[in-house]
Structure 1
């Protein structure tokens, strides 16, 4: 009875995204995810482009990997690096059963007395930002349904601890220039900062007050994992959007156990 479930949790995604602000392209990136029967890995990289590159050139990359436990993604490590003309920074985290066991920021940032401290309790029952962006739909029913949005998660990114709560908005059809063309479930996302942030920062206040952030999720073939196809965030400068231009996903054949 377990064999079909194990066989169905294997797939791969190769996606390219374009970021825009008020309709003007400002960045590009790629995301690769591999989900096996007992392990997963995900890596992303991107950078500014077009007009934005002339003002603030920057690149970034991230990676997460871990185990697949009863269909759920349980990360064991996360790394993120960002580089601009002024500085480069690398965040590393080691996780065990959704608890942050080790984390570091290199170079180490200065201590800010206004920042709400992150305690050990804040680092339990959390996801890293990359694993936390992938929704697992439990059960055996329809993967794309309103129930997929009725969830939430605690996230720790090495500096900031925050909660994300999702709610169903609508179903729609999405189409990439290459790859996926089909249904998506669109979820509203609500951001609540918990610790590791400076309360007076305008961007934190702005994001926490937003009620119009939304993400369109589509499935990785062969799995019950949904990943973002498009994300939109209202800003004072116009709508910010990250959308897939390529979304090629394929189910992997089940791995045959060796007999010797």
Structure 2
């Protein structure tokens, strides 16, 4: 996957579809989002989801828009399924089928005992550059995939942003550090209500080039905000708005539909 494309995918890879392993109260949700760069629509995502208090299965589709394809055509499907433990998403399996330009990459991750149990990247990565920061075994403990990372279970809205989430997408290991940044409001099809706004920082840990200016910018300079909204009465919050400054403009995620069907 093209290097600048990966951190953007981590930031905009969002959302949910849940099929529980046991009976529980579920919320069926339909979500439609657009991604803009300096007010130009560059991508769309469509998500169908069922979310419960204890289990989840996330499925989403992302595709670039015609203007963005002048630069690099992007499309992808992502799926993550798992459960919640002590307010934290614990994925069991993750699949990403992503394409950027002529490149296509499929990643499968199996999680077990609180860590990455099995990883399969196709095609396999080639030789690493001299400044590559290798992923160590301890880096893969207590991590989630970038899709499960977007789901937060909290007993109180004030606790949504008080956390650091370890993310692993099959190559990059990073920490998403959230801190409170106030409240907001979302008016979209199916939802008109308050949101919880977090300030975010994406900090690379391993699986990247030490000399990557893109990751250095996201870690040290980018201003990132993520707004979460509750999914019914499940106690689970999902991101409905996000923004991140980049070297070429502001990347923004906007939700046009956030509809709970049950």
- 1:91-240 equivalent positions in 2, closer than 5 A: 91-112=107-128, 113-137=130-154, 139=155, 143-145=156-158, 147-176=159-188, 178-210=189-221, 212-240=223-251
Structure 2 unmatched ranges of 5 or more: 1-21
- Rg comparison, structure with higher value: 1
Inter-CA distance 237–71: structure 2 relative to 1 (3 Å threshold): closer
TM-score, normalised on structure 1? 0.86
How far residue 71 of structure 1 moved from its aligned partner, in angstroms, is 5.9
Which residue, 17, 22, 38 being the options, matches 1:22?
Answer: 38
1:60 and 1:80 in contact (8 A); partners too? yes
Which residue, 84, 88, 100 being the options, matches 1:84?
Answer: 100
* Deviation digits for residues 136-157 of structure 1 (CA, Å, limit 9, x no counterpart): 10x4xxx433x32111111111
Inter-CA distance 171–57: structure 2 relative to 1 (3 Å threshold): same
Q: Distance between the aligned counterparts of 1:83 and 1:34, measured in 2?
A: 26
Question: What secondary structure does 1:55 align onto?
Answer: coil
Q: Distance between the aligned counterparts of 2:41 and 2:27, measured in 1?
A: 30
Which residue, 30, 36, 49 being the options, matches 2:65?
Answer: 49
1:135 and 1:226 in contact (8 A); partners too? yes
Q: Distance between the aligned counterparts of 1:70 and 1:114, measured in 2?
A: 38
Question: What secondary structure does 1:226 align onto?
Answer: strand
Q: Distance between the aligned counterparts of 2:226 and 2:132, measured in 1?
A: 29
Q: Distance between the aligned counterparts of 1:144 and 1:38, measured in 2?
A: 18
More displaced, 48-57 or 62-71? 62-71
- Cross-structure match for 1:257: none
Q: Distance between the aligned counterparts of 2:118 and 2:200, measured in 1?
A: 28
2:218 and 2:246 in contact (8 A); partners too? no
- Cross-structure match for 1:258: none
Q: Distance between the aligned counterparts of 1:14 and 1:189, measured in 2?
A: 25
Q: Distance between the aligned counterparts of 2:29 and 2:162, measured in 1?
A: 24
* Deviation digits for residues 175-204 of structure 1 (CA, Å, limit 9, x no counterpart): 11x111100011000111111110101101
Question: What secondary structure does 1:109 align onto?
Answer: coil
